[in-house]
Each structure stands twice: as structure tokens, then as C-alpha cells.
Amino acid sequence: MSGKMQNMFFFFILLGRIAGGSTLSLENLPATGNITENSPANALVYVFSVKLSPSCAEVAEGYPIIINSNPLTDAFQIVPESKLVYRVVTTENPILDYETMPHLFDLQIYVMDTAEATDLQTLTVKIEDVNEPPMIQGNMATQPIMIYILEGSGAGNIYQIEAIDPERKELKYSLTPASDLFIVSNSGTISTTRQSDYEKDQHSYFLNITATDNLGLKTTGTVIVNIININDEAPYFTMKQISYTIPEEQRPGTIVVHITAKDPDDEGFISRLTYSISPPNEYFSINPLTGVIQVAKRIDREASTFQLHPRISLIIHVEDSPRGGQMNETEITIIIEDINDNPPECKQYTFSSKIPETATPGTLLFALRDYCYDNDVEPPNNKFNFTGLSGLGSNIFTLDPVGSGIVVSARDLNFENPANQAMKDEYSLTVVVQDIAWPNYASKNYSRYTTSKIGKVSATDKDLPFAGITYSIVGGGGTFGYTNIFWIDPEKGDMKIIATLDYETTQRYILTVQASDSEKTATVSVTVNVLEVNDEKPVCTPNSYSLAVPVDLAVGTNIEGFSILCHDPDSSPRSFRYFISSGNINNHFTFSPSAGSNSSRLILASRFDYENGLDTTWAYSLRIYITDDNLLSGSDRATVHVETGTVTLSIKVIPNPTTLLPTTEMTKLNTVFDGEARDPVTGKMYEFNSKSGARRWKDTKVLTETKITDPVVHVISSATAKGREEKDGTGTPSKKEAGVDEKAPEMENMAAKPTEG
């Protein structure tokens, strides 16, 4: 078909031929054809036909054509419909915009037949207006608009929509989804209605803003509003208990309680909280990074400060970062529990008394209780009784009532009584003052053990008839003030031990025993070898085990709930102590409690740090020794020989999927920063390592307003936020922020148990 440009070329040439006159005519023309604005290609404008002269049968090839248009346009063309019937239609890319273009076009349609007769008629095309949807202008027309607002910013305008109606009608604006935080005005201004709150509100909003014209046609643009978190919330404590009980005399380093807190602002960040005890307390310290409270100094429940008030109150502060940020505090109470760590003692250990032989049975000799006391504070730890009356005369005197310390005569003492022939006029008795509570300390001057027979010395007297031989120990058998370790039955020569023998102190005693009848005396040397007691080993279950611990496990967590349970037939359940003797590289693990229970839990004591190269091993093999020592810390207590049980643990550290790296790369990584980003809280730029996540601040400038150009960003800052930034305008990254986490100091054992109520 004919090109439109071509039509115009021939305009003047063809005009000349019309003058010749003919009978060829264009039917139904001139006329007016209508088309709506912005019609697609090939839309029908008008139909006309050609009437040939009788002498001529054909329309010349290439006709009819539009030879001219006014105003000039290439939006229309003629296509045949059937023989001699033609349609005026729109071309491939008609641009027919009512608002920006003429509304009327005159098309001159020219036809010629094979006999060169011609006709020319005008088709007026009228462009009809149709209502079109509003048009959003500017960046929003092509992409969502990104807006950042600082949390806490007051109500205010955040964005002005630019939109027009092609028909120049007034537009209305609406916003979906409905939000109580945002509104859009009649003029297309989006504003916040109130302060935003990062912790309570959504962190980002996807808002559709719809412009609607007078006839209800709509166009929608999108605004994405991101709320930037600022440090505006105080941290709060998350541990439930406020009262904890620990036994006195815990080793410094023993873990008492793990203080935990959360910062509502912290979402999406590693904890940036710092803990302190304020005012400081001499008995406890807190790890500022982990919140683990440990014993810092020996606590003796018997010390005068704790006798009446065995409670220590600690005010725990927690502060978020940056420093000078928000803080909170709570009070916890640590109750010091008395343990039985003191033997009963007496103001006087040697007593003498004279009673007449005429005294009746039951006559009081000594009331020992008045001389004795026990420094432990609480019953039954401070209760004691008197037992084990022994020595020469123990059949003549007795404790009445039993255990009381009241020594009375037990029978008739009259020398004239024939039954009392063998009676002496002086007796030496030993009484044991003994704790009632486990482990039943006895005062050191005395034995808490019942006498046990160790041997017999016998002598024969050649003088007949047999005259009674009396045995006595005249030398040896004493050490360090233990004057009466052995006792010999004066009549039979049986020797007994009446005090505790301690292998560690003395392995051998050499005694001189004397046998005498009424006239002569003989002595003999007796050697007593003290043997080492070989008591039973603690047996613990499980005695070997494999565990896995996630690399980011919180300090203080009982790893996989693992605990060991120990049993020792000849020891109390409270006598066990747990030591990790090898494999505890960087002291990441501890057992809690470390002593005083037959079961102990495996605790993560400090956090792993592979990023900074502090930790390099991912597999630990721990060897745990369990002894059946006792709980006590008194310095002058004789060492008790202990037997050891062992437990072996294999622990694997499970890396985070994102930080899984070959160990050889670990140490280098902290210096390689391959990315950078902006901290949404401070607005500062930092560099980070995309594998390890390690960060450091990039520069020291504090930015309160920022424009990010991709895609389109508007930042609305508030006075509140600026003020806060300036307060921390040091530009020095805190250790946490920079990803250089300090390693927690070595920890001992969680000894506290929550107190009821």
C-alpha cells in the first residue's frame, strides 16, 4: 500500500490533473469521521467508495490515497475493504492525544482511474476525548520511592506525590493498606500522624498511594517507608529470680548467677549491653560483657558481718551502648548458706575433779557442755554431742544423759567395797566432742572413732602366786599435741587407738609399754605402722560422652543439658569435687557446681571466638577428675587422702553456616574487610568482612542525615535523634560494635541455687 510520506510528494503534480474534469467520483465524501483519542493501530475512522466512469473499469494502481492532511499527520491511511469500497483507518503508531494535539484533521483523499480521470474530496477526522487515568510523575512513576525516617521523629510531611490528570481534573489521593501512622492529604502530601516507634511499629511499610480522578480512574504508586532504629529504650532484665543461695566458702571464681538482660533496641544486633555491680561489692564481681556473677572473695558465714545478716544485696546495672545510652538496674539478693565447716571447740580441754569415795552413783563430776561451742551459725551445723567416753575408768564414770557432756559417777566408789578392790584413786577419761551434722567433726584433741584394738602386750610374772600386772604406755604415742593416741588396757594389755591416725602426718609410732607388778617393772618397745587408707573411687556416669555445642551458644548454658552423676559407697553425696584436668583450651568449659553435689552440669563458661583467632580448635577432649574430698576450706584441716574417678568428654563446636571457614584462614580474616554498610542506629559507615561478619568503623564522621541514591531515598531526621548522636560523638567504636569481642575471663562454677519465693 502507499506510504504516507509518498502521498505528500505528489501533491502539487496531481492537483493539475483534476482540472481536466471527469466522471470518476468519491462517494460519501466529503464527510466527518470520528476516532477516540489514543486509539490503537488499524482502528476504523471512516468507510467510503469510489464510483467509476462508465467508460472505465479500473481504479489506477495505488489509489485512492491521502495526499495531504491539515494539520500534518501520518496517523491515517486508506485500506481497501472490497471492490471499490475503502476504509480510512489508523496507522501502525497513531499518536492521537486529545490533550496535547489538534482535535480535527482534514484529510484530502485523492483517486485516479486507468483513464487518468481523478477526484479529490476531504474527510474531516474529529478526535474525541476519552477520560484517561491520572499520571504519576517523577521517580515514583517508574519505581517505588524509598523513605527512611528515624524512629521518634514527630508527625510531619515525608513525601509529596507529583501526579496530574490528563483531563486536568482535580485528583484525590488514598493510601493502602490503611495505617494509623501515615496519611495522605488532598494535595498528595504523605505525612506521619505521630512519632514512630521502632519497637512497637513495623520496621518498614509498603504503602500504595492511589490517585483517583473525577471519573474514578486510578493510578497507584508505591512508597516504602523504613523506620530507622535509634537507641531510645532502656534494657530490661530477663532472669526470673531475684534471690539466690550459695554455700559459704565457695572458691573465688565460682559462678553464682548469670544476669541476663535484653535491649528492646537491639533487635538484629548482637547484644551491646554492659553489666556492673554498683556500688561495687567486695565479695562478688560481674563480667561486664556476659553478666556472669562470680565469687570474688572468701565468704565466711561465721564472720561477724554475716552471722546475723547472711544476705548480700547487689544492685546490678545494665547499660546499653553506645555509652551514655539507656540503663536499668535491679536488685538481687544472695543468701549465704551455712555449711558445717567448723568442729566443735572447747575453751578448756583438761579438767580435773575430786570426789569423795562416799559419793553416790550419779554424782556430777563435770558439765562439759558449758565449756564447748561450735562456730558454725545454723543448726544442725552448730550442734554437737559428747560421746566415746574412754580411758581408764570409763566403766566407773558415764555420760548421763547419753551425749550430754555431763560426766557422773556410775557406781559405788567406796574402796571398802570388796568389789572395788582393783579401783584406783585416779582416773583419766577421754570424751569426744562431736558435730551432730555431717561430716561430724570431732574436736581435734579427741577421737571421733570408737577405739579399735591394735594389739596386745602381755607380761608374765615368775613370782607365784600370780600378782596383778599393770600395763601402761610410758613413752611415744604422742605427736603434735596428740598426747593420748593409744590406750592400753591396764589389766589385759590390749592396746587401742583413741585418736584419729593420719597417715600424712605420721606413718609410724614407737611406743614404750611398761608392765609392772607390785615390785618390778619391765618395758617393751611396740611399733605401730599406720597404713594408708585406700577408700573407694568415685564412679561416675556417663564416664565418656560426645557432645556438640553451637559456636554462638550463650555463656552459662548447660551444654546439651549434660551432667555427670557420681557415686561412692564410702563418701557422702556432698563430698565430690569436679576438676577439668586437661583439654579445656581457653577454659571454655566448667562444671557446676564444682563441689558439694553428686551431680554436676557441664556449662559453657566463655564464648568462642574464632573470628579473631583466639580459638582455633573445633574439637575438645576434656578429662574430668572427680574426687571424694570434702567441701571444707579450713586451712588447718588435715588432708584427707582422696581417690579419683575420671570422665572423658569429646566436644565438637558447630560453626555457624555463615562463618564456616577452614581454620587456617581464621587468623587472617579480621584484617580483611570486603564490604561496607551504614549502621542504621548511628548512621556511621562501617566496613565488614562478608564471611566472618567482623566489623570496624570506617570513618569518624557522624551523619545525621543521609541520602542513599538507590533507588530514591529521603531521610527525615529528628531533633531527638541528633541530640543523641552528638552525645556519643566520639567516633570510637566500642569493642562490641567493632566485632572485637573481648574474651570473658575464666569462669568457675555455678554454685547458686535459686531461692524459693
Give contact residues for ligand NAG (rule: CB under 6 A). 32-34, 126, 176-177, 208, 220, 234, 236-237, 328, 330, 349-350, 385, 387, 402-403, 434, 436, 440, 444-445, 481, 483, 565, 567, 573, 598
Q: How far is CA 178 from the centre of its chain?
A: 37
Residues 651, 547: contact at Cβ < 8 Å? yes
Burial of 716 (0-12, 13-18, 19+ CB in 10 A): buried
Q: 592 to each of 270, 580, 583, 642, how far by Cα in Å?
A: 26, 11, 17, 20
- Evaluated on CA atoms 177, 183, 189, 190, the torsion sign reads negative
Q: 9 to each of 67, 68, 120, 121, how far by Cα in Å?
A: 8, 9, 16, 18
Phi, psi of 278 (to 5 degrees): -140, 120
Q: Which is nearer to ligand NAG, 349 or 618 (by Cβ)? A: 349
Beta strand 255-258 with 284-286: parallel, antiparallel or unpaired? unpaired
Task: Work out how close the CB of 346 gets to ligand NAG at its nearest, in angstroms, rounded to a whole number.
Answer: 8
DSSP codes, 106-142: EEEEEEEBTT--EEEEEEEEEEEP-----EE-GGGGT
Q: 181 to each of 192, 195, 721, how far by Cα in Å?
A: 5, 8, 19
Kindly state the cell numbers that stand for 527: 611399733
- d(CA 713, CA 223) in angstroms, rounded, equals 10
Residues 528, 511: contact at Cβ < 8 Å? yes
Q: Which is nearer to ligand NAG, 254 or 260 (by Cβ)? A: 260
Cα three-residue angle 296-299-300, rounded to 5 degrees: 165
Task: Work out how close the CB of 327 gets to ligand NAG at its nearest, in angstroms, rounded to a whole number.
Answer: 9
Q: Which is nearer to ligand NAG, 86 or 610 (by Cβ)? A: 86
Kindly state the cell numbers that stand for 486: 593409744
DSSP codes, 246-299: EESSPPTT-EEEE--EE-GGGTTS----EEEESS-BTTEEE-TTT-EEEE-S--
* Cα dihedral 415→420→426→432 (10° resolution): -140
Residues 469, 463: contact at Cβ < 8 Å? no
Q: Which is nearer to ligand NAG, 220 or 514 (by Cβ)? A: 220
Task: Work out how close the CB of 198 gets to ligand NAG at its nearest, in angstroms, rounded to a whole number.
Answer: 15
Task: Work out how close the CB of 683 gets to ligand NAG at its nearest, in angstroms, rounded to a whole number.
Answer: 24
Q: 339 to each of 246, 377, 442, 574, 752, how far by Cα in Å?
A: 10, 8, 16, 11, 14
Task: Work out how close the CB of 673 gets to ligand NAG at its nearest, in angstroms, rounded to a whole number.
Answer: 35
Q: Which is nearer to ligand NAG, 38 or 328 (by Cβ)? A: 328
Residues 544, 646: contact at Cβ < 8 Å? no
Task: Work out how close the CB of 440 gets to ligand NAG at its nearest, in angstroms, rounded to a whole number.
Answer: 5
Nearest CA to 405 out of 381, 384, 426, 435 is that of 384
Nearest CA to 64 out of 115, 21, 25 is that of 25
Q: How far is CA 650 from the centre of its chain?
A: 24
Nearest CA to 181 out of 211, 214, 204 is that of 204
Task: Work out how close the CB of 519 gets to ligand NAG at its nearest, in angstroms, rounded to a whole number.
Answer: 33
Q: Which is nearer to ligand NAG, 199 or 687 (by Cβ)? A: 199
Buried b (16+ CB within 10 A) or exposed e, 566-602: bbbeebeebbbbbebeebbebebbbbbbbbbbbbbbb
Task: Work out how close the CB of 71 gets to ligand NAG at its nearest, in angstroms, rounded to a whole number.
Answer: 19
Task: Work out how close the CB of 333 gets to ligand NAG at its nearest, in angstroms, rounded to a whole number.
Answer: 15
Q: Which is nearer to ligand NAG, 110 or 446 (by Cβ)? A: 446
Q: Which is nearer to ligand NAG, 173 or 306 (by Cβ)? A: 173
Nearest CA to 422 out of 433, 411, 407 is that of 411
Task: Work out how close the CB of 20 gets to ligand NAG at its nearest, in angstroms, rounded to a whole number.
Answer: 31
Q: Which is nearer to ligand NAG, 351 or 673 (by Cβ)? A: 351
Q: Which is nearer to ligand NAG, 315 or 740 (by Cβ)? A: 315
Task: Work out how close the CB of 681 gets to ligand NAG at its nearest, in angstroms, rounded to a whole number.
Answer: 18
* Cα dihedral 136→137→143→149 (10° resolution): -90
Task: Work out how close the CB of 587 gets to ligand NAG at its nearest, in angstroms, rounded to a whole number.
Answer: 27
Task: Work out how close the CB of 575 gets to ligand NAG at its nearest, in angstroms, rounded to a whole number.
Answer: 11
Q: What is the DSSP letter of 10?
A: T
Kindly state the cell numbers that stand for 564: 555427670
Task: Work out how close the CB of 558 gets to ligand NAG at its nearest, in angstroms, rounded to a whole number.
Answer: 18
Q: Which is nearer to ligand NAG, 375 or 704 (by Cβ)? A: 375
Q: Which is nearer to ligand NAG, 387 or 390 (by Cβ)? A: 387
Q: Which is nearer to ligand NAG, 201 or 357 (by Cβ)? A: 201
Burial of 481 (0-12, 13-18, 19+ CB in 10 A): exposed
Q: Which is nearer to ligand NAG, 104 or 474 (by Cβ)? A: 104
Element (DSSP H or E) covering residue 17: helix 11-18
Closest-approach residue to ligand NAG (CB): 403
Task: Work out how close the CB of 358 gets to ligand NAG at its nearest, in angstroms, rounded to a whole number.
Answer: 29
Say which residue the cell 493502602 belongs to.
176
Task: Work out how close the CB of 484 gets to ligand NAG at its nearest, in angstroms, rounded to a whole number.
Answer: 8
- d(CA 686, CA 739) in angstroms, rounded, equals 11
Task: Work out how close the CB of 264 gets to ligand NAG at its nearest, in angstroms, rounded to a whole number.
Answer: 8
Range list of β-strands (E), 289-326: 292-295, 311-319
Say which residue the cell 563480667 belongs to.
287
Task: Work out how close the CB of 27 gets to ligand NAG at its nearest, in angstroms, rounded to a whole number.
Answer: 14
